Amino acid sequence: MRRRSLLKLGAALPLALSVPARLAARVMSPFARVRPGDPYWPTPAQWDELEAAVGGNLLEPHALFAPCVADAASAACADAAENQRNPFYLGDQPGGTQVSGWLDAWTPAPSARAVKARNAQDVAHAVNFARTHNLRVVVKGAAHSYLGTSNAPDSLLIWTRALTDIRLQDDFVGAGCAGKVAPQPAVSLGAGCMWIDAYSAVTTRAGRYVQGGGCADVGVAGLIQSGGFGSFSKGFGNAAAGLLEAEVITADGRVRIVNARQEPDLFWALKGGGGGTFGVVTRLTLRTHALPQFLGSAWGAFKARSDAAFRALLARFVAHYAERVANRHWGEQVAVKPDNSLKVSMVQQGLSREEARAVWQPFFDWIKASADYTVAEEPGASGHKAQSWWEVQGNPSMIPDKRPGAPPDHGYWEGDQDQVGVFLHGYDSLWLPAALLEPSAQPRLSEALFAASRYKEVGLHFNKGLAFAAPEAIKASLDTAMNPGVTEAFALAIIADGERPSYPGESRPPMDLDAAHRDARAIDAAAAELRKVAPQAGSYLSESNFFNQRWQQDYFGPNYPRLRNIKKHYDPEGLFIVHHGVGSEDWSADGFTRLR
């Protein structure tokens, strides 16, 4: 046998030597993806073939501000400048990103080509083309990746923005599940939908609820694949917990329908195992729930007159949260600020205005009774008819997409405006364990919050930690790929900052790099203070530190080995690689060179 193999090899040798030099070189370096200008970059005729296969929807994206570099007086340049704080506009550009970069981490760069997919077949054509020609692939939905994982220079972009079908069903049964799983109410969303599309269809128009993201303009597919949290996740779990079925195109170009019974491993990996990693999702079907009668909020801002008074305020807040607020009803945020102020921006589901007020009044009264504090924003609490929560028209908390012809239900929360186009100096997050709310541990927690806030503002996002959530929400969230530590955390602490947009080519005053680096170090120092009381804390992959060295453990905990195996099975050649995505440790930082 052995000799026969050798003879066969020997017989093949002259042929191998006679292949064109470009093919021989390719055989010798099979682990480098090709770039424009490389000899193996597809020929114009091959691009034409792809263009024909996808119905002409092959684009050559440009950087957002490229028109300004070409002609600062052009209408296209004015358009980019005018709309750079409109998240819908940014999402509509093939070269657009919602974040304009991250100091020392990444800079937005358009792909060499983009397929604006109309359906799963277009995606399959793009995937097959990329695999055949050894191209670097990126996948983009609504472009909200903080980590910059939906853009890469010299790549082929598979862009799902145009996949916007929405279908509500009263009695959804997954493929292959007939007779095995009871029908249930659900909504199917094209991967190009944003959460405002889902909420408008499911809540505003149909009077039901679907668990998605808090930020209305985030893409449905990116958020579900990172686990995803919305304001009411303490009631309904992480967003991925509601996934019933997905249509996904894997690296072999196959269109697969996956659910808990059909390719369950891949299905599970799509529930929080990270976007741009296991394939291209084209459709998601999510469970819908009865809409709570009320949705509402609690607000107020208070400033302490001294450090000692601020410490006392933090201690009081922590105790109040533990006693009255840590439950399935309350989510969103409290900000602990360096100027000794505390800002409450909470939301609730399921409580009337009177019930919501009763929860917060003792805390507000305690503050107002003391001369140690001033009130910067008069506190209050509310509960409204739930169905109008995401109505854009006439909603003072929402900013509509004002472009001519924009869908009337496209709007985003006013509170998210600052993030649109932001250039990040730094970002970090960690899940704070519920054990820190035990009476004996509360002083350590409030002191850590005080210490961290000496460096930077700390945001406590209570809806992004699932301790005290509804038991059924916890159970469903544990059946996702997210680090299960999330169910033992009462909040995700986020420390982040940046500055006004700084897209390449944009005209703006030069960045003060020294100040930006100082800011980044301050973020590190604040996060380090919190890690002193939560040394094993994990972190939410979509809202985390680009430079996190223990991302596998922090994002996925004990789920990582299983995710790694699923990745090897469905994408053995690493077609889908993103920064700090499953399997990315095998690749160079730019995703072009296989390291092992």
Which residues sit at the interface with ligand FAD, rule CB under 6 A? 98-99, 138-146, 149-150, 160, 191, 213-215, 218-219, 221-223, 225-226, 228-229, 275-276, 280-281, 416, 419, 542-543, 578
CB-based contacts of 60: which residues, under 8 Å, 6+ apart?
Answer: 112, 113, 114
- Residue 85: CB minimum distance to ligand FAD, A: 12
8 A C-beta contact, residue 212 and residue 202: no
Cβ distance to ligand FAD smaller for residue 236 or 364: 236
Tell me how far CA of residue 28 lies from CA of 8, 25, 36, 39, 107, in angstroms.
20, 5, 19, 14, 32
CB-based contacts of 277: which residues, under 8 Å, 6+ apart?
Answer: 225, 269, 567, 571, 576, 577, 578, 581, 582, 583
Cβ distance to ligand FAD smaller for residue 222 or 300: 222
Cβ distance to ligand FAD smaller for residue 280 or 530: 280
Cβ distance to ligand FAD smaller for residue 189 or 437: 189
Cβ distance to ligand FAD smaller for residue 134 or 150: 150
Cβ distance to ligand FAD smaller for residue 195 or 560: 195
In terms of Cα–Cα distance, which of 180, 141, 182, 176 is closest to 287?
182
- Residue 409: CB minimum distance to ligand FAD, A: 18
- Residue 92: CB minimum distance to ligand FAD, A: 12
Q: ∠514-520-524 over CA atoms, to 5°?
A: 140
Tell me how far CA of residue 549 lies from CA of 21, 75, 124, 505, 579, in angstroms.
41, 44, 34, 31, 12
8 A C-beta contact, residue 269 and residue 278: yes
- The CB density around residue 450, as the number of other CB atoms within 10 Å, is 19
- Residue 323: CB minimum distance to ligand FAD, A: 27
- Residue 239: CB minimum distance to ligand FAD, A: 7
Cβ distance to ligand FAD smaller for residue 187 or 448: 187
- Residue 448: CB minimum distance to ligand FAD, A: 24
> What single-letter DSSP state applies at residue 136?
-
Give the strand pairing for 208-209 and 184-190: unpaired
8 A C-beta contact, residue 566 and residue 258: no
For tokens 């709007």, the residue is 411
Give the strand pairing for 294-304 and 398-400: unpaired
- Residue 299: CB minimum distance to ligand FAD, A: 18
String of b and e for 451-474 (b: at least 16 CB within 10 Å)? bbbebbbbbbbbbbbbbbbbeebb
- Residue 538: CB minimum distance to ligand FAD, A: 15
Cβ distance to ligand FAD smaller for residue 226 or 340: 226
Cβ distance to ligand FAD smaller for residue 53 or 280: 280
For tokens 């072009």, the residue is 592
**Which residue intervals of 463-533 are DSSP H helices?**
471-478, 513-533
- Residue 512: CB minimum distance to ligand FAD, A: 23
